[in-house]
A and B are shown apart, each in its own frame.
Chain A
């Protein structure tokens, strides 16, 4: 038995400066701009990782209310937003962009109220979109990149917005991120694939700059045909096992973090998605096993 978290806590506005010096960018899909103050060194990472997001400079002298502010300070890149109870600071630019994306997604969901948003990876197979709800260290990011290297289309390695009318998953056009070092079990073909597409990186993370064919552009939609719960297991034989839908529904309710709509509507929408989807638990030890089992079920 479990209790789902409440709606977001009341928004904290005290950290958002009303008048900002620095550069202001509107981003397509957001009502308010983001402010980047002395952050030129972030731009290459930011614009590369947020591959399809349309940034446009606006006049900072206008009376804008930025939804997120990053300021390059002596202590690092300091970010303030209404989703943070206190400013977050990162010295490393890749870490700063990585954490900024968390707020960016919150802002996007807040401004697009009909969307649900699941903490999951999502890859399009021949049969449709298969989502992999987040499970701690189960490998959803690396598996989704591996699937992209084998012909799948990566919609997301971390969060997936879902539309209201016909439930469709929406690609976000944000580069997937792999934890470094890559697992020792990674085969050379995959290591080469990741190296060829090396994007922004630091000692802990590597962003993978997939092609448009491997990762569809922001706003691409696809129907959800499968939900697969990942289970890393080195002791038992790899298998794709039918999962009970009540277990899957419980899991996706917990993975949804867009709670601006009434709880009953959210549950009904997720019920409908789970009822329509093929639900599995994937038990696997290495990526090749996982790809083979998923390809058999959903087609690549």
Chain B
């Protein structure tokens, strides 16, 4: 999955698929995921949305697909709010190489 992983320091690219960095280590406490990137010695803790997304992030996914999935899961939450939260999640994850574009 990560053989094609690219260095990702730019903004989130619409339409591009992002894959998990396979070197990331997860630690779980209650319902929260804490991610550790041993390459950069960075720790990231995920909120409820981030944890839910991370749990189902088995295949590369684009920001549009992720937004759609979350909207289906939470139909009562305004779509704009979901779009903003997913966008923020992708930015946070890609900034420190927890995920990277793979196409």
CB neighbours (8 Å) of A179 from chain B are: none
Q: Contact at A267–B41, with CB atoms within 8 Å?
A: no
Let me know if B44 is at the binding interface, CB within 8 A.
Answer: yes
Let me know if B38 is at the binding interface, CB within 8 A.
Answer: yes
Q: Contact at B27–A6, with CB atoms within 8 Å?
A: no
Show 29 A/B contacts (Cβ-Cβ < 8 Å), sorted by A.
A1-B44, A1-B47, A1-B88, A1-B92, A3-B42, A3-B43, A3-B96, A4-B42, A7-B41, A244-B30, A245-B30, A246-B29, A246-B30, A246-B32, A246-B45, A249-B29, A249-B45, A250-B32, A250-B34, A262-B38, A262-B41, A263-B37, A263-B42, A267-B27, A271-B27, A271-B29, A271-B34, A274-B29, A275-B29
- In the assembled complex, the Cα of A7 lies from the Cα of B96 at a distance in Å of 14
CB neighbours (8 Å) of B45 from chain A are: 1-2, 246, 249-250, 253
Q: Contact at B50–A263, with CB atoms within 8 Å?
A: no
Let me know if A268 is at the binding interface, CB within 8 A.
Answer: yes
Interface residues of chain A, those whose CB is within 8 Å of chain B, are 1-4, 6-7, 244-246, 249-250, 253, 259, 262-264, 266-268, 271, 274-275
CB neighbours (8 Å) of A1 from chain B are: 44-47, 50, 88-89, 92
Interface residues of chain B, those whose CB is within 8 Å of chain A, are 25, 27, 29-32, 34, 36-38, 40-47, 50, 88-89, 92, 95-96
Given contacts A246-B45, A263-B37, 20 further A-B contacts (CB under 8 A): A1-B45, A1-B46, A1-B89, A2-B44, A3-B95, A4-B43, A6-B40, A6-B42, A245-B29, A249-B45, A259-B41, A262-B38, A262-B41, A263-B36, A263-B41, A266-B43, A267-B36, A268-B27, A271-B34, A274-B29
Q: Contact at A263–B38, with CB atoms within 8 Å?
A: yes
Closest chain A CB from B23 CB (angstroms): 11
Given A1-B46, A7-B41: A267 in contact with B30 (beta carbons within 8 A): no
- In the assembled complex, the Cα of A204 lies from the Cα of B95 at a distance in Å of 42
